[in-house]
Amino acid sequence: MTNATSTRWESMKTDETRSVERVLQEAGLKADAYRYNSASIRVRVVDPRFEGLANEERDALVEPILEKLPERTQADILNLFTFAPSEIELNSSDARSLLLNLEFEDPSPSKL
């Protein structure tokens, strides 16, 4: 048995968010998801194919996959973070991506 600790966001996973992860992973994407509050799901997708693409292009690759989910689940996905692996490495010069990833990893308290 290991003493590995999980992050706070990992404790916020639900069956619904696991189904979001599963749909994206079945499409070959590395994905994490959790329920941020009663009205919001956060999803992070990291894929080398996003390198050099604008956010709109990344979303265009991911959104058709998310359409396989129930409409209610789709409606609750309010934050879709798409990163190339290089954007979230600690030595990345992309401060915006680093901050967004940090917010995913260590979510600020919800007001709901």
At 33-82, the pLDDT tens digits run 999 999 999 999 999 999 999 999 999 999 999 999 999 999 999 999 99
- pLDDT tops 90 at residue 84: yes
- Shortest CA distance to 109 belongs to which of 3, 23, 5, 12? 12
Q: How far apart are CA 69 and CA 65, in angstroms?
A: 8
HEC string of 16-79 equals HHHHHHHHHHHCCCEEEEEEEECCEEEEEEECHHHCCCCHHHHHHHHHHHHCCCCHHHHHHEEE
Domain assignment present for residue 67? The answer is yes
- Shortest CA distance to 59 belongs to which of 72, 74, 42, 45? 45
Domain assignment present for residue 41? The answer is yes
Domain assignment present for residue 111? The answer is no
* CATH code (residue 75): 3.30.300.90
Specify the pTM. Answer: 0.88
| Structural domain boundaries enclosing 83 | 19-105
Both tokens of residue 83? 């990163």
Domain assignment present for residue 100? The answer is yes
Domain assignment present for residue 43? The answer is yes
Domain assignment present for residue 2? The answer is no
Domain assignment present for residue 13? The answer is no
Domain assignment present for residue 47? The answer is yes
**Domain total for the chain?**
1
Q: How far apart are CA 105 and CA 103, in angstroms?
A: 5
13-22, 89-98, 100-109: segment of lowest average pLDDT = 89-98
* Mean pLDDT confidence for 9-15: 94
